[in-house]
Amino acid sequence: MDLGSVDHVFPHYGRVPPVVHAWFGRDNQGYDVYARTVYGARASILVGVFATLFVAVLGSFVGIIAGYRAGWMDSVLSRIGEVFLGIPLLLGGILFLYIFPNDPLTTPFLVQVGKVALVLGVLGWPLIMRLMRGSVLQVKPNDYVQAARALGASPTRIISSHILPNSLASVIVVSTINLGVYISVEATLSFLGIGLQPPAISWGIQISEASGIGMIRAAPHMLFFPSVALSLTVLAFIMMGDVVRDALDPRMR
């Protein structure tokens, strides 16, 4: 029978190496590794995007308040951020998801993605907060900010019109790099079996399924292609962060 005419699932064709009709081969259950690798990008990138947006919004908001208000408010928010910053990202994710696990049979896909993204966001916001706070402290003494304050502009208007636009560049650069980091952390958590759960598909789950005893030697293509996709995606976002930095930083022009 022609491999190209079978459905995505065909147990008799498990562990088929890459051929014309299955570019990346097939896994144990006969699934097309190419299709699962492409489809698995959705979960991994969604977690990275949601976590990055959460970290950027929360970290920027807290950093602006700490930098603009200064005084005791700055001290309190900075100490709270240092508490979260002292928790390793991966270890904190393991502990939280172990205590509040995902049930693969009852937990919807988007809820699983949101839970992993929320954990990464809660543990990752202090870095953006400290970065935004430093940027605000640099921008606040400038003449145009002092002039706006002297003209009677409200703090909200000063922040939205003068401080925030001149403080976002570094946050955008770091957030772009962090996107690749969060994708790799999600893959690690899913590989350990505490992140996303089957039947959800992600690169971490594929790598975990391909790393069983004897699987690497019997079907190396099952491990190779998801690993390459994960590595290239993380590298692409890190390189994009460098490009964004060169575009936004006037010292690099």
CA atoms of 43 and 195, how far apart (whole Å): 11
Outline where 13-88 has alpha helix (H). Answer: 33-69, 71-85
138 in a structural domain: yes
Q: What is the mean pLDDT of each run of 10 residues along the chain (253 residues)?
A: 42 64 73 83 90 92 88 88 87 87 80 90 90 88 85 84 84 87 90 84 85 72 85 88 72 51
- Block residue for tokens 């993605």: 113
Q: What local confidence, expressed as pLDDT, does residue 3 receive?
A: 40
Structural domains in the chain (count): 1
Q: pTM of the full predicted structure? A: 0.83
- Looking at the DSSP assignment, which residues form a beta bridge with residue 26? 32
1 in a structural domain: no
Residue 128 near residue 60, CB atoms below 8 Å: yes
Residue 166 near residue 139, CB atoms below 8 Å: yes
68 in a structural domain: yes
| CATH number of the domain enclosing 18 | 1.10.3720.10
2 in a structural domain: no
199 in a structural domain: yes
CA atoms of 70 and 126, how far apart (whole Å): 16
Q: What local confidence, expressed as pLDDT, does residue 173 receive?
A: 85
End-to-end CA distance of the chain: give it in Å, rounded.
60
4 in a structural domain: no
- Here the tokens at position 187 are 């893959």
169 in a structural domain: yes
Q: What local confidence, expressed as pLDDT, does residue 39 receive?
A: 86
- Sort residue 70 into left (φ over 0), alpha (ψ -120 to 50) or beta: left
The boundaries of the domain holding residue 45 are 10-252
